[in-house]
Structure 1
C-alpha cells in the first residue's frame, strides 16, 4: 500500500470505473472489484485497489486480443 493512498467511497470508486453503484456491487460479488475496507460501518476502497482493477482489465483485454 502506498503511503498516500486515498480511500474512496462507493460513489467515487464507481465513478472512476464509469459504472453505476448497482454494477459496482455486482463487480464486487463476481470478484472483479475487491471487497471494501471496513472502518466501523463505512465501506471504503483504496485508490490503488481500483487502479489495480483497471490494470487487470487492460491485461485481460490484451491477452484476449494478442
Structure 2
C-alpha cells in the first residue's frame, strides 16, 4: 500500500487467514476486544487490515512486556 492510498479492507475469511484461525474465532476475538470491531458498509462486514495488523502487534507487545 502506498502513502495516501485507502486502507485495504478484508472480510472475515481474510482476517481468519491472517490470524491463522477460523472465522468463528475471529468473532470471539471481536467479542472479547482482541480484534477491532468491523466496519459495516451496506450489507457488507469488513475490517481495516491495517487495524488487524496493529492489533496483532499490540498483542505481541503485551507478550514481550510480560
The number of residue pairs the alignment matches comes to 63
Runs of 4+ in 1 over 3 A off after TM superposition: none
Cross-structure match for 1:27: 29
Using the TM superposition, give the Cα deviation of residue 11 of structure 1 relative to its aligned residue in structure 2, in angstroms: 0.2
Q: In the TM superposition, what are the counterparts of 1:7-18 in structure 2 within 5 Å?
A: 7-18=9-20
TM-score (norm 1): 0.89
Query: Displacement of 1:47 after TM fit?
Result: 1.0
The gaps in structure 1 that reach 5 residues or longer are none
Q: Secondary structure of the equivalent of 2:62?
A: helix
Where relative contact order (Cα < 8 A, 6+ residues apart) is larger, the structure is 1
**Could you list the runs of 5+ residues in structure 2 that have no partner in the other structure?**
none
